[in-house]
Structure 1
Amino acid sequence: MSNAELTTIQPVELLENLKGYPFLAPYHLSFCCDQEGGLSRVKSRFTICGATEHPPHCCRLCQNTLEDAVQRAIGSHQPVVFRCHAGLLSFAVPIRSGDLPFSCIIGGGVRDSEIDPAQMESFAKGDDGDAVALLEELVRLPAVTEQEVAETAHRVHELVPSLLTRNLHSLVFEKTMQRLSAVTGVSAGIDGARTAGDVMALVSETLGILFDIARIALLVPQGSGSFAVKGLWGLDPDLGSMPAAKAHGIFPRNYAGQTITIEDDCRALFPAVESDRATCIRLATADEILGILVLFDTTLPPRDEMLLKLFTGRAASRLHQVKAEERHSTESAQAAKLLTLFSNLSRAENREELHQQILGMAADLVEASSGSIMFVDDNGETLKIESALGMNMQLAQSMVVQVGTGIAGKVAASGHPLLVNDIEKDKRIGTPNRPRFKTKSFVSIPIRLRDDIIGVLNLSDKKNQGIFTEADLKLLITFADHASIMIERAISIERADFLEQLSITDHLTGLYNRRFLKRRMEEELSRSIRQNMGLTVMLVDLDHFKIYNDLCGHLAGDRALKRLARILSDSARQMDIVTRYGGEEFCVILPGTSKKESIFVAERIRRAIESEEFPHEENLPQGRLTASIGVSSYPEDGSSDVVLLKAADVALYRAKAEGRNRVAIASGAEEDDGTHIRKVAQNQP
Structure 2
Amino acid sequence: MCRVDEGPPLCSRLCPSVIDKIVNTAVSSNKPKVFRCPAGLVGFAVPMRSSAGQFHCLIGGGVREKSLDLYRIEALAKTENINPFTLLEQLQNLPITTEKAVEETADRVSGVVASLLSAGADTPPADKLTEKLHAVVAISAGIDKAKTAAETISLLCETIGLLFDIPGIAAALPDDGNEGFSLQGAWGFPIAHERLTTATLHRFVPGNPTGKSVLSGEEINELFPGTDAQSALCFPLAAHGEPVGLVVLFNSDLKAGDDLLVELLTGRAATRLTVLKREEEFTRESALSGRLLTMVNSLTLAEGKEELCHRILEMGTELVYASCGSLMLIDESGETLRIESAIGMNRQLARIMNVRKGNGIAGRVAAGGHPMVVNDIEKDERIAAPNRPRFKTKSFISMPLTFKGETLGVLNLSDKKNQGIFTEADLDILSPLVSHAASMIQRASSHESIELLERLSITDPLTELYNRRFLEKRMEEELSRSLRNGLHLTVMLMDLDNFKTYNDLCGHIAGDKALKKVAKILRGSVRDMDVVTRYGGEEFCILLPGASKKESIFVAERIRRTIENEVFAGEEDLPQGRLTTSIGISSFPEDGSSANALIDASDIALYRAKSEGRNRIVISNSAADPETRGFPSPLVQRKQ
TM-score by length of 2: 0.71
Structure 1 residue 181 corresponds to structure 2 residue 114: no
Deviations 1:19-47 (A, max 9, x none): xxxxxxxxxxxxxxxxxxxxxxxxxxxxx
Report if aligned partners of 2:210, 2:237 keep a CA contact under 8 Å in 1: no
Aligned residue for 1:440, secondary structure, equals coil
Aligned counterparts of 1:351 and 1:392: Cα–Cα separation in 2: 21
Return the letter of the residue paired with 1:198: E
Paired residue for 2:162, among 209, 230, 233? 209
Return the letter of the residue paired with 2:414: S
Aligned counterparts of 1:602 and 1:435: Cα–Cα separation in 2: 61
Matches within 5 A, 1:253-332: 254-255=207-208, 257-264=210-217, 265-271=219-225, 273-332=227-286
Report if aligned partners of 1:419, 1:442 keep a CA contact under 8 Å in 2: yes
Structure 1 residue 191 corresponds to structure 2 residue 128: no
Aligned length: 512
Over alpha carbons, which structure has the higher Rg?
1
Paired residue for 2:378, among 424, 443, 452? 424
How far off its partner does 1:388 sit? 1.5
Residue number in structure 1 paired with 2:448: 494
Distance verdict in 2 for CA 1:237–1:391, change over 3 Å: farther
Residue number in structure 1 paired with 2:398: 444
Residue number in structure 2 paired with 1:515: 469
Residue number in structure 2 paired with 1:562: 516
Report if aligned partners of 2:209, 2:242 keep a CA contact under 8 Å in 1: no
Distance verdict in 2 for CA 1:642–1:182, change over 3 Å: farther
Distance verdict in 2 for CA 1:424–1:549, change over 3 Å: closer
Structure 1 residue 395 corresponds to structure 2 residue 341: no
Aligned counterparts of 1:177 and 1:358: Cα–Cα separation in 2: 63
Aligned counterparts of 1:343 and 1:670: Cα–Cα separation in 2: 58
Aligned residue for 2:373, secondary structure, equals strand
Distance verdict in 2 for CA 1:547–1:384, change over 3 Å: closer
Residue number in structure 2 paired with 1:14: none
Distance verdict in 2 for CA 1:586–1:249, change over 3 Å: same
Aligned counterparts of 1:287 and 1:600: Cα–Cα separation in 2: 89
Aligned counterparts of 2:187 and 2:487: Cα–Cα separation in 1: 81
Aligned counterparts of 2:621 and 2:189: Cα–Cα separation in 1: 99
Question: Any gaps of 5 or more consecutive residues in structure 1?
Answer: 9-98, 102-163, 672-685
Distance verdict in 2 for CA 1:573–1:273, change over 3 Å: farther
Aligned counterparts of 1:187 and 1:299: Cα–Cα separation in 2: 22
Deviations 1:56-75 (A, max 9, x none): xxxxxxxxxxxxxxxxxxxx
Structure 1 residue 369 corresponds to structure 2 residue 320: no
Structure 1 residue 351 corresponds to structure 2 residue 305: yes
Which shows bigger deviation, 628-637 or 495-504? 628-637
Structure 1 residue 626 corresponds to structure 2 residue 569: no
Distance verdict in 2 for CA 1:198–1:645, change over 3 Å: farther
Return the letter of the residue paired with 1:333: A
Deviations 1:367-400 (A, max 9, x none): 1111122334444544333322122212333334
Distance verdict in 2 for CA 1:346–1:260, change over 3 Å: same
Paired residue for 2:389, among 416, 430, 435? 435
Report if aligned partners of 1:383, 1:455 keep a CA contact under 8 Å in 2: yes
How far off its partner does 1:448 sit? 2.4
How far off its partner does 1:240 sit? 0.8
How far off its partner does 1:495 sit? 0.4
Report if aligned partners of 1:239, 1:272 keep a CA contact under 8 Å in 2: no
Paired residue for 2:414, among 451, 455, 460? 460
Aligned residue for 2:584, secondary structure, equals strand
Distance verdict in 2 for CA 1:226–1:614, change over 3 Å: closer
TM-score by length of 1: 0.66
How far off its partner does 1:512 sit? 0.6
Distance verdict in 2 for CA 1:444–1:174, change over 3 Å: same
How far off its partner does 1:570 sit? 3.2
Distance verdict in 2 for CA 1:532–1:178, change over 3 Å: farther
Question: Any gaps of 5 or more consecutive residues in structure 2?
Answer: 1-45, 52-116, 626-640
Aligned residue for 1:305, secondary structure, equals helix
Paired residue for 2:172, among 196, 208, 219? 219
Return the letter of the residue paired with 2:454: E
Paired residue for 1:593, among 537, 547, 550? 547
Distance verdict in 2 for CA 1:359–1:615, change over 3 Å: closer
Paired residue for 2:153, among 175, 200, 206? 200
Distance verdict in 2 for CA 1:631–1:246, change over 3 Å: same
Supply the RMSD in Å over aligned alpha carbons. 3.6
Report if aligned partners of 1:267, 1:275 keep a CA contact under 8 Å in 2: no
Report if aligned partners of 1:650, 1:670 keep a CA contact under 8 Å in 2: no
Deviations 1:600-622 (A, max 9, x none): 21012122333445566677665
Residue number in structure 2 paired with 1:480: 434
Aligned counterparts of 1:556 and 1:397: Cα–Cα separation in 2: 33
Aligned residue for 1:465, secondary structure, equals coil
Distance verdict in 2 for CA 1:637–1:430, change over 3 Å: same
Structure 1 residue 339 corresponds to structure 2 residue 287: no
Distance verdict in 2 for CA 1:532–1:207, change over 3 Å: farther
Report if aligned partners of 2:210, 2:235 keep a CA contact under 8 Å in 1: no
Report if aligned partners of 1:176, 1:304 keep a CA contact under 8 Å in 2: no
Aligned residue for 1:302, secondary structure, equals coil
Aligned counterparts of 1:238 and 1:503: Cα–Cα separation in 2: 74
How far off its partner does 1:599 sit? 1.0
Return the letter of the residue paired with 1:337: R
Residue number in structure 1 paired with 2:76: none
Structure 1 residue 536 corresponds to structure 2 residue 483: no
